[in-house]
A and B are shown apart, each in its own frame.
Chain A
Amino acid sequence: MSLLHLAIIAPFLLAVFVPILYKHMKKVHTGWFVLPLPILLFAYFVSFISTTSNKQTVTESFSWISALGIDFTAKVDGLGLLFTLLITGIGALVVLYSIYYLSKDTEKLNTFYVYLLLFMGAMLGVVLSDNLIVLYLFWELTSFSSFLLIGYWYDREKSRYGAQKSMIITVFGGLAMLGGIILLYIMTGTFSITEIIAQSDVILSHPLFVPALLCFLLGAFTKSAQFPFHIWLPDAMEAPTPVSAYLHSATMVKAGIYLVARMSPVFAEHSLWLWLIAGFGLVTLFWGSFSAVKQTDLKSILAFSTVSQLGLIMSLLGIGAAALHFDNIDPALFTVATTAAVFHLINHATFKGSLFMVVGIVDHETGTRDIRKLGGLMNLMPITFTIAIIGAFSMAGLPPFNGFLSKEMFFTGMLSILNMDFNWGILFPVGAWIASVFTFIYSMIIVFKTFTGKYQPEKLEKKPHEAPIGMLISPIILASLVIIFGFFPNILSNSVLEPALQTIMPGFAFDVHIGFWHGFNAELLMTIGVVVVGILLYLTLSKWRSVYGIFPEKLALNRFYDNGLDWMQKGSHSLTNSYMSGSIRNYLAYMFSFIIILLTATLFGKDAFAVNTENVADIGPHEVILASMIAIASVAIMFTKTRITSIILTGTIGYLVSLFFVIFRAPDLALTQLVIETISVSLFLLCFYHLPKKLTDDPVSFKVRNAIIAVGVGAVVTLIALSAHSNKLFDSISQYYIENTYSEAAGGNMVNVILVDFRGFDTMFEITVLGIAALGIYGLIKLRKTGGKKL
């Protein structure tokens, strides 16, 4: 295990100690123990920049399930490094912020930081794994930790609803992705991304190419909240604000983008990849920004804004793929789109992170996030206001912030579609422009509705004042980055952007230079248009707001989700109720009928039935006597009138069977059977107390049904026993055990050596099952009274 693996696993290791630290160091906020880790990891990963900027990669392998091609291979390349820096860098800032955001006296900090660390480790695993199965494992772990974090305040109904929604949608996509991974494995015979990329020619011509592509896109679209799967993200805002800033804007939701970027070398040659990603991205971009303007909750605005920005990055990645698809057009026209995507990814993390933290501060200090109640906070919270201005203006695409640069590049990328021979291409720049207008409007709403206008202290729960300095540090750092990247974007070009781009599109030359001034070109005119129209629309917002009333609620995607969930719950409930009668006798009837059907079908379907009387030993008189005694006892049970008699008769059958084992010289079996029989009869006697005194007199039809099933089971088992003896397809394994029991396992009793040594794994799981059964019985009986709730 290398240092790189240790870095990925470190958050999990620390998570083990967090509850202990929380319990024994109550006086110190648990966040202080967590904070050093992301800082250390950030420093560690920064040291890789010199390697990746020289177009080198670092690969460390750790053998895990090598037999199935699953090894924990960690690979640091440009793309992975960019994400690790985001995860650890924003992670450190978020942990610092959370120390002031979450009170150590009232919140369950142990669970919070365990979940957060779980997420951090999982996310690092996603972006550094070269093995797709390992990636998938970490991928689901991010969904899972996100579920836990959204439901952190689990006593709120909305938190539980949001957590469940995000889980259902992202895990659905995750499973689709697993399907895609398996399809890729079928095509290439490997799970390693590096090796799969090397075989991209084989994959491209394979009939399974399109299904695999669709599966991967489902995974990416659900994770990155692309239309129509975006509905989980606004509900995920029930999580504490540091979580929203970290998972649901800066890192986890970008895992889908990461996946698209990572798999680009495999899929991007196909036009379907291009159009699906660009198309869905554009629709998401538009729908997100359009819906954001409607919201009145600051976090909801930011949620829809995140949806929209993710769509923006996604559509840029789609257009960038055109460089691979069109051979006759200069690829540089399209690669600028990919550059814009990666650059905007970083910018989005900075400005959206700072805005989330600002909203958190506003919420923390005033007790509300409703823009109808807020207003006039500018004088009370000057620093927060400044940060909000920087973040929101960057998001709106105004100079001199980094958002302006990536927005210009975004327009360039969108305009490049016009170079393709495609009639509807004009839709892309037009859609992008309209979406940018809405982006401008909601950015203004965030700043001006909160910080200017009329101050309404009577509507606020608390008396607002500036946040403590600790809470301001993180957003200040992010806001400074917004300005620094705005003025000096090229500090990122060589160090981070180019290596990442090289990974997404190997084989293309990237020479990234980002500048402010390109003359009066179409992009600048578009930006000016956005600002002018945006200001006009913002000022007249109250006049056209009614547009949002046009769409009927019935068609809303959320309604569709809720109804679907409701329908599934009701459907499965009625289906289950139709056969779960609560009577164990019925369940046994189901099981035995199923056994009869399954075994008969297999026996005759496989043509396995045969009777062969060769090599059969003579039947002695004592065997006949034993067998007839068993038969008599079995028949007698049916005619007993009292329960005690039937229990004793059942015991008799068991003891007679153990005598058979004695005759056939199986002392271990005989011994076990004897003891088991003794104990189960005694257990019956213990239960006796709870059972009704008299055996019930059942209707005849019930008895006939049971008789048919009983005879059926008996007949099937007999037929199988006969066939099993008559078909000897393989040599018996007993010879192996006879030869090896003493030499390999140094034991004399073959049965026991098989149990503890040769088949030790089986035994281990069997006793585990036994333990679970005991827990189940214990739970069923003990918890029945205290709970008092009908399940």
Chain B
Amino acid sequence: MKTNDLILQTATKLILFLIVLFSIYIFFAGHYTPGGGFVGGLLTSGAILLLLLAFDLKMVQNILPFNYLYMVALGLLFAIGTGAGALLFNTPFLTHAFGDIHLPVLGELHLHTATLFDLGVYLVVVGVTMTIIQTIGGDE
């Protein structure tokens, strides 16, 4: 599936970063405003998918040489690890902790372990979507 579409390729190079940045924003914003790990992950996958449509599969694999199945595993580890971490503090599985921290440059930060859990969701979603797309798309 070799494509040679100059307009799409040029536009993709620019739009790609916008989508990725937006997906990262959406991921972090999810705690207070619409968004979260699931949508964030899907948006990132969408960005990679766009790259895939504009260029070919081989090239995308060279640019992003991830084994997406490992990403799924890593995501699951994050999610389960966050849950299991609660056990260390003698609280039930998946109890989250949160608090405010003041950092010199960044100022007042509101930190929450749910973000780590959400990061797991994000990684799993990206991993799963890209695994499916790569295996089906790469099947000759």
| B83 & A764 in contact (Cβ 8 Å cutoff) | yes
> What are the residues of chain A within 8 A of B114 when measuring CB–CB?
745, 747, 753, 756-757, 760
Say yes or no for A426: interface residue by CB 8 A criterion: no
A746-763 contacts to B (CB < 8 Å): 746-749, 751-753, 755-757, 760-761, 763
Could you count the A-B residue pairs with CB atoms below 8 Å apart for me: how many are there? 137
Task: Give A666's nearest chain B residue, CB to CB.
Answer: B34
Expressed in whole angstroms, the minimum distance between the Cβ of A752 and any Cβ of chain B is 4
> What are the residues of chain B within 8 A of A678 when measuring CB–CB?
46, 49
Number of interface residues of B (CB under 8 A): 50
> What are the residues of chain A within 8 A of B131 when measuring CB–CB?
774-775, 777-778
A675-689 contacts to B (CB < 8 Å): 675-676, 678-679, 682-683, 685-687, 689
Say yes or no for B62: interface residue by CB 8 A criterion: no
Contact of A689 (CB < 8 Å), options: B1, B33, B49, B110: B1
Contact of B133 (CB < 8 Å), options: A683, A748, A760, A775: A683
A-B contact pairs, 30 of them (CB 8 A): A671-B26, A671-B39, A676-B42, A679-B49, A682-B46, A682-B49, A683-B132, A686-B137, A690-B136, A746-B98, A746-B110, A748-B32, A749-B32, A749-B33, A749-B34, A752-B30, A752-B31, A753-B114, A755-B121, A756-B37, A760-B94, A760-B96, A763-B117, A763-B121, A764-B80, A767-B76, A767-B121, A771-B75, A774-B72, A774-B131
Q: Of the 9-residue stretches B10-18, B101-109, B122-130, which lies at the interface with chain A?
A: B122-130
B49-85 near A? 1/0 per residue, CB < 8 Å: 1000100000000000000110011011001100100
B6-50 near A? 1/0 per residue, CB < 8 Å: 000000000000000000001000111111111100110110010
Contact of B117 (CB < 8 Å), options: A671, A685, A760: A760
> What are the residues of chain A within 8 A of B125 when measuring CB–CB?
767, 770
In the bound complex, CA of A384 to CA of B9 (Å): 81
* Interface residue tally on A, bucketed by range: 35 or more
> What are the residues of chain B within 8 A of A775 when measuring CB–CB?
69, 72, 131
Beyond A690-B139, A753-B114, A756-B114, whether A771 also contacts B79 by CB under 8 A is no
In the bound complex, CA of A679 to CA of B39 (Å): 12
| B135 & A781 in contact (Cβ 8 Å cutoff) | yes
Task: Give B73's nearest chain A residue, CB to CB.
Answer: A771
Beyond A764-B94, A771-B73, whether A672 also contacts B33 by CB under 8 A is no
What is the interface of chain B, defined by CB distance below 8 A to chain A?
1, 26, 30-39, 42-43, 45-46, 49, 53, 68-69, 72-73, 75-76, 79-80, 83, 93-94, 96, 98, 110, 112, 114, 117-118, 120-121, 124-125, 127-129, 131-133, 135-137, 139
| A679 & B35 in contact (Cβ 8 Å cutoff) | no
| B36 & A668 in contact (Cβ 8 Å cutoff) | yes
Say yes or no for A782: interface residue by CB 8 A criterion: yes
Say yes or no for A427: interface residue by CB 8 A criterion: no
In the bound complex, CA of A773 to CA of B73 (Å): 13
| B136 & A770 in contact (Cβ 8 Å cutoff) | no
Query: Most chain-B CB neighbours within 10 Å: which of A676, A685, A687, A770?
Result: A770
Expressed in whole angstroms, the minimum distance between the Cβ of A787 and any Cβ of chain B is 15
In the bound complex, CA of A690 to CA of B68 (Å): 23
| A763 & B133 in contact (Cβ 8 Å cutoff) | no
> What are the residues of chain A within 8 A of B75 when measuring CB–CB?
767, 771
**9 additional contacts (CB under 8 A) given A678-B46, A679-B46, A767-B125:** A671-B34, A690-B136, A749-B32, A755-B37, A756-B118, A757-B96, A757-B114, A774-B69, A777-B131
What are the 6 tightest A-B residue pairs by CB atom distance, in nearest-first order? A748-B32, A667-B34, A752-B36, A767-B124, A675-B42, A774-B128
| B112 & A771 in contact (Cβ 8 Å cutoff) | no
> What are the residues of chain A within 8 A of B117 when measuring CB–CB?
756, 760, 763
What is the interface of chain A, defined by CB distance below 8 A to chain B?
667-668, 671-672, 675-676, 678-679, 682-683, 685-687, 689-690, 745-749, 751-753, 755-757, 760-761, 763-764, 767-768, 770-771, 773-775, 777-778, 781-782
Task: Give A685's nearest chain B residue, CB to CB.
Answer: B53
> What are the residues of chain B within 8 A of A683 when measuring CB–CB?
132-133, 136
Expressed in whole angstroms, the minimum distance between the Cβ of B41 and any Cβ of chain A is 9
Task: Give B116's nearest chain A residue, CB to CB.
Answer: A756
| A687 & B136 in contact (Cβ 8 Å cutoff) | yes
In the bound complex, CA of A683 to CA of B52 (Å): 11
Query: Most chain-B CB neighbours within 10 Å: which of A678, A746, A751, A775?
Result: A746
In the bound complex, CA of A770 to CA of B126 (Å): 11
Contact of A755 (CB < 8 Å), options: B32, B38, B72, B133: B38
In the bound complex, CA of A4 to CA of B118 (Å): 40
> What are the residues of chain B within 8 A of A767 when measuring CB–CB?
75-76, 79, 120-121, 124-125
Expressed in whole angstroms, the minimum distance between the Cβ of A612 and any Cβ of chain B is 32
| A682 & B36 in contact (Cβ 8 Å cutoff) | no
> What are the residues of chain B within 8 A of A752 when measuring CB–CB?
30-31, 35-36, 118
Expressed in whole angstroms, the minimum distance between the Cβ of B42 and any Cβ of chain A is 4
| A749 & B35 in contact (Cβ 8 Å cutoff) | yes
Beyond A678-B46, A679-B45, A682-B49, whether A771 also contacts B127 by CB under 8 A is yes
Task: Give B137's nearest chain A residue, CB to CB.
Answer: A686
> What are the residues of chain B within 8 A of A668 when measuring CB–CB?
34-36, 39
Contact of A686 (CB < 8 Å), options: B80, B96, B136: B136
> What are the residues of chain B within 8 A of A748 when measuring CB–CB?
31-33
In the bound complex, CA of A757 to CA of B18 (Å): 29
> What are the residues of chain B within 8 A of A746 when measuring CB–CB?
98, 110, 112
| B127 & A781 in contact (Cβ 8 Å cutoff) | no
Task: Give A782's nearest chain B residue, CB to CB.
Answer: B135
In the bound complex, CA of A675 to CA of B33 (Å): 17
Beyond A756-B121, A757-B114, whether A675 also contacts B39 by CB under 8 A is yes
| A761 & B94 in contact (Cβ 8 Å cutoff) | yes
| B136 & A777 in contact (Cβ 8 Å cutoff) | yes
> What are the residues of chain B within 8 A of A676 when measuring CB–CB?
42
Expressed in whole angstroms, the minimum distance between the Cβ of A750 and any Cβ of chain B is 10
Query: Most chain-A CB neighbours within 10 Å: which of B26, B46, B72, B133?
Result: B72
| A679 & B129 in contact (Cβ 8 Å cutoff) | yes
Contact of B79 (CB < 8 Å), options: A667, A671, A757, A763: A763
Expressed in whole angstroms, the minimum distance between the Cβ of B51 and any Cβ of chain A is 11
> What are the residues of chain B within 8 A of A763 when measuring CB–CB?
79, 117, 121
> What are the residues of chain A within 8 A of B30 when measuring CB–CB?
749, 752
Task: Give A686's nearest chain B residue, CB to CB.
Answer: B137
> What are the residues of chain B within 8 A of A768 when measuring CB–CB?
76
Task: Give A761's nearest chain B residue, CB to CB.
Answer: B94
In the bound complex, CA of A667 to CA of B36 (Å): 12
Expressed in whole angstroms, the minimum distance between the Cβ of B8 and any Cβ of chain A is 13
| B36 & A751 in contact (Cβ 8 Å cutoff) | yes
In the bound complex, CA of A757 to CA of B115 (Å): 10
Expressed in whole angstroms, the minimum distance between the Cβ of B121 and any Cβ of chain A is 6
> What are the residues of chain A within 8 A of B42 when measuring CB–CB?
672, 675-676, 679
Contact of A773 (CB < 8 Å), options: B31, B39, B128: B128
| B128 & A771 in contact (Cβ 8 Å cutoff) | yes
